[in-house]
């Protein structure tokens, strides 16, 4: 583990030396050419610009450290936060970056010091790049791993496939993935059931589980979930499984509302309750509001056109201007958070799981203080929740993971999949890419 303050440069640079993508050829930015004789080319989803992802041929990953493993990816999800890369966070990306942080597959090769997994083992790869042995990991805070913290960016643990802010680590929407910390990071899962049974351990399940735990719903209590995308819907399922007495889900996409209603969630269509949602929720919760609210929307929320315009305008600026502006100022569309603050009962809890990125967003501190609201948030600590989740991935499938994906598409169709997911077309709720 590095000394405090040594930053990611000394640790992650050795784990992930930046390599030039094979297509198009590029030498800017100090990246290394592929090693002589390397030769092999895999297919991967590569960022080329705003709303421009392509499937390119890039060098296969290789063992760099004795604790590395190479995973042949069999399934990899497109996450709602990938849409931030697709639409907004271009200033923190470089052309050629490989996307994706929800993969699983089969171990293809292991480094000399790896003993926990072997070639042929089936594994899920958490989206946090965490060592599993530092102080933070031992506290169950894997998203704050001290070995991979991106200190020069002021960020927590590195993430697979997610911008310079989080280490610029090559992602898992690819045929192969290099995974460090082979003895502690990959999650070994049984052979037999389809990938859909386990792939959500990479992100969706632990993120939803943590969101519900952070929401601190009393036994038989009430919960409102704002946003019924993959994380919001799974949060609602988890809450019901854990004994919540009443779960209300809010969204405006018909397919999402129908899916949640089919799992026993009381759904409210935002298109019908745009002006009376808070009053409607209070009527459904004894006049005082729900015990807990999960904001699973974040900065993609509807209802704040000025914030949306500001985000999109910044994303169109040159990187040299946009990056410091987004880092130091940042404008989030806080409609969902303001709504959560309004509707939660006094003394209740808000769990933020939707991604926010602004640095100077105004918060209604008087209202938060006056209502005595508890507020919890953060990236999911994947390994912290795996012991709770693995027993649920049984033949009974209580969380309904087997049918959770709305689409399974080959990796080569990733550009269409991103466009479909972004525009919520063809009932796209959760897409799994299959290399």
Across 401-410, average pLDDT: 98
Same domain? For 132 and 237 the reply is no
pLDDT at 332: 53
Same domain? For 282 and 395 the reply is no
Percent of the chain with pLDDT over 70: 81
Same domain? For 148 and 20 the reply is yes
pLDDT at 13: 47
Quickly state the pLDDT bin for 35 (edges 50, 70, 90).
very low
Domain stops at, among 334, 361, 377: 377
Q: Which of 244, 247, 278, 242 is nearest to 260 (CA)?
A: 247
pLDDT digits (tens, 9 = 90+) for 105-148: 999 999 999 999 999 999 999 999 999 999 999 999 999 999 99
Domain hosting 406: range is 9-203+382-434
Q: Helices in 121-224 by DSSP H: which ranges?
A: 135-138, 204-215
Buried b (16+ CB within 10 A) or exposed e, 379-411: bbbbbbbbeebeeebeeeeebebeebbbbebeb
- Residue 75 φ/ψ, nearest 5 degrees: -150, 145
Across 286-299, average pLDDT: 92
| pTM of the complete model | 0.86
Quickly state the pLDDT bin for 300 (edges 50, 70, 90).
low
Kindly tell me if the per-residue pLDDT of 21 is higher than 70. no
Across 72-87, average pLDDT: 93
Same domain? For 307 and 430 the reply is no
Same domain? For 272 and 392 the reply is no
pLDDT at 343: 97
> Which has the higher per-residue pLDDT, 88 or 295?
295
> Which has the higher per-residue pLDDT, 142 or 309?
142
The enclosing domain of 272 has a CATH number of 3.40.50.720
Kindly tell me if the per-residue pLDDT of 400 is higher than 90. yes
Kindly tell me if the per-residue pLDDT of 94 is higher than 50. yes
User: Does the residue 90 lie in any domain?
Assistant: yes
pLDDT at 309: 42
Same domain? For 362 and 395 the reply is no
- Across the chain, mean pLDDT equals 86
pLDDT digits (tens, 9 = 90+) for 418-435: 999 999 999 999 999 999
User: Does the residue 4 lie in any domain?
Assistant: no
The enclosing domain of 191 has a CATH number of 3.90.180.10
Same domain? For 238 and 265 the reply is yes
User: Does the residue 372 lie in any domain?
Assistant: yes
The tally of domains found in the chain comes to 2
Same domain? For 79 and 165 the reply is yes
For residues 295 and 255, give the distance between their C-alpha atoms in angstroms, rounded to a whole number.
19
Same domain? For 280 and 148 the reply is no
Q: What residues have CB less than 8 Å from 211, skipping those under 6 apart?
A: 231, 235, 238, 294, 296, 351, 353, 380
Same domain? For 116 and 76 the reply is yes
Same domain? For 142 and 237 the reply is no
For residues 225 and 344, give the distance between their C-alpha atoms in angstroms, rounded to a whole number.
11
């Amino acid at each position: 583990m590095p000394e405090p303050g040594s930053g990611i440069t000394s640790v992650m640079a050795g784990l992930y030396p930046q390599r030039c993508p094979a297509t198009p050829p590029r030498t800017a930015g100090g990246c290394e050419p592929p090693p002589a004789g390397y030769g092999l080319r895999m297919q991967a989803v590569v960022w080329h610009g705003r709303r421009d992802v392509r499937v390119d041929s890039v060098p296969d990953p290789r063992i760099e450290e004795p604790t590395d493993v190479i995973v042949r990816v069999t399934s990899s999800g497109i996450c709602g936060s990938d849409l931030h890369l697709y639409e907004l966070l271009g200033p923190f990306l470089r052309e050629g970056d490989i996307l994706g942080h929800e993969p699983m597959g089969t171990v293809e090769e292991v480094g000399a010091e790896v003993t926990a997994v072997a070639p042929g083992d089936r594994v899920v790869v958490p989206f946090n790049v965490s060592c599993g042995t530092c102080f933070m990991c031992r506290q169950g805070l894997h998203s704050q791993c001290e070995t991979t913290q991106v200190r020069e960016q002021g960020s927590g643990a590195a993430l697979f496939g997610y911008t310079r802010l989080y280490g610029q680590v090559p992602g898992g929407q690819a045929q192969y993935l290099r995974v460090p910390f082979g003895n502690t990071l990959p999650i070994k899962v049984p052979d037999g059931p389809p990938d859909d049974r386990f792939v959500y351990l990479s992100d969706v399940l632990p993120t939803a589980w943590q969101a519900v735990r952070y929401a601190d719903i009393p036994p038989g209590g009430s919960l409102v979930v704002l946003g019924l995308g993959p994380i919001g819907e799974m949060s609602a399922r988890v809450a019901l499984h854990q004994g919540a007495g009443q779960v209300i889900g809010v969204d405006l996409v018909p397919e999402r509302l129908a899916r949640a209603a089919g799992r026993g969630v009381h759904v409210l269509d935002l298109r019908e309750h745009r002006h009376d949602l808070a009053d409607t929720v209070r009527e459904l919760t004894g006049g005082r509001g729900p015990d807990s609210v999960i904001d699973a929307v974040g900065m993609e929320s509807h209802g704040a056109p000025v914030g949306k315009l500001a985000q999109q305008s910044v994303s169109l600026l040159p990187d040299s201007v946009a990056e410091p502006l987004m880092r130091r100022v940042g404008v989030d569309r806080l409609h969902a958070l303001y709504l959560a603050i309004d509707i939660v009962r006094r003394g209740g809890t808000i769990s933020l799981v939707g991604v926010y990125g602004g640095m100077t967003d105004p918060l209604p501190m008087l209202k938060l203080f006056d209502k005595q609201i508890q507020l919890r948030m953060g990236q999911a600590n994947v390994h912290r929740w795996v012991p709770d989740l693995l027993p649920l991935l049984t033949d009974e499938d209580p969380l309904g993971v087997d049918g959770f994906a709305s689409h399974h598409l080959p990796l080569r169709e990733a550009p269409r999949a991103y466009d479909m997911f972004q525009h919520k077309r063809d009932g796209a709720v959760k897409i799994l890419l299959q290399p």
